[in-house]
Amino acid sequence: MLLLYFHGFASSGASGTVQMLRKLLPSGEVVAPDIPVDPAEALPFLMQLAEDVQPDVIVGTSMGGMYAHQMHGFLRVCVNPAFNMSSMSKVLRTGTHQWLNGRKDSEKTFRVTADTLRHFREMERHQFDGITDEDRERCYGLFGIHDEFVNPANAIRTFLQHYRHAERFDGGHQLNDKVIHKVLLPLLGQLLGERFEAARKPPLPDYMQWQ
């Protein structure tokens, strides 16, 4: 089983969530890219990556959830998707900022410019274009009732205007150990069945794989 994970704003593919998923899915593969800051670069990059790796499921949190739902044709799970990044001034504002986690390019800081904000606004206006009936069935939303960044009531309302499967959970904006175990993993098990169960089992020792 291959899981493609999209992180939230200012994070990276080396986040604690990614480490936890790899620990819990020892026989699966978790691909977690560092997402570019500007959506004009990020969205086509992620679309091409999904086409290249052909994941069994895409999981995205916050900004990553906003990108994940746009991966048409794939099974997606969007956790607290931030559909309106451009209006989240406490998160997305012009200036130089520090990355929250280490990035593969070793950069410590990044810049948000007026063009970055404009590109987010443009993308947000078109993010629900082209949704098919298959997309409506294969996209799942998980919404923390104590989300401190994204208004869960508004986010669920927006999600259900375009997709059919939404669930609330007792938690905040970020994934943590409890939510991963009690909410995300059970949903992945329901959606992926035997592939998920196989990914959760420890891999066989090398000497046994050749018998």
d(CA 208, CA 108): 43
Q: In the structure encoding, which two tokens stand for residue 101, read together?
A: 């986690």
Range of the domain at 63: 2-209
> Which CATH number do you get for residue 13?
3.40.50.1820
What domain count does the chain have?
1
Q: Give pLDDT, residue 1.
A: 97
- Taking each helix axis from N to C terminus, what angle separates 39-53 and 114-126, rounded to the nearest 10 degrees? 50
Rounded CA separation 149/82 (Å): 8
Asked if pLDDT for residue 210 goes beyond 70, the answer is no
Instruction: Evaluate if residue 57 carries a pLDDT over 90.
Output: yes
The tens digit of pLDDT for each residue in 85-100 reads 999 877 899 999 999 9
